[in-house]
Amino acid sequence: MKKCFSLTVSVLLLAMRIFAADQETISVHVRIEGFSDDNGLSRLLIYGQKKGFPDSTADALLAYTNPIKNKTADFYLKLVSGRYAFSVLHDRNVNGKMDKTWYGKPVEGFGASNNPPSETGPPAFDECVLEIGNNFNTLLIRIHYL
């Protein structure tokens, strides 16, 4: 019984190594430009599906924060190739969420991959999705303020 269990664990560990080798990571540099000032933090959320995009941290695959320097923030990531949409928030008061007026207008800066227009409301996942692969390594997102 012990030998069977040990063999099973060994086979599982080997399978995990083979799967991990197939899932090569790609270095991606995300630069965020256009912050109004250096106060607060830049929050980057990465989604692999529509659910929760663009502002639900709970539904994001990955979430990062970085300081803002000279009205710019840089993120250096390792991602498995695939389809992703990115959203960014200028979290000026560092409360972890998008602050809005009583009628829903954002009072902090925001942005998304593919830099969609921001005048008509939050961007859709489909207009922000990118294919991250071997030929992709830099992404520029511009912050908007309303």
Q: Taking the domains of the chain in order of start, what are their residue ranges?
A: 24-142
Say if CB 71 and CB 92 are below 8 A apart: no
Looking only at the bridges linking them, the beta strands covering 62-67 and 25-33 are unpaired
Rounded to 10 degrees, the C-alpha dihedral 142/65/48/80 comes to 100
pLDDT of residue 39: 97
Mean pLDDT confidence for 112-138 = 89
pLDDT band at 102 (very low <50, low <70, confident <90, very high): very high
What is the CATH code for 24-142? 2.60.40
pLDDT of residue 23: 73
In the chain, what percentage of residues exceed pLDDT 70?
85
pLDDT band at 11 (very low <50, low <70, confident <90, very high): very low
Q: Which residues contact 2 (CB under 8 A, 6 or more apart)?
A: none
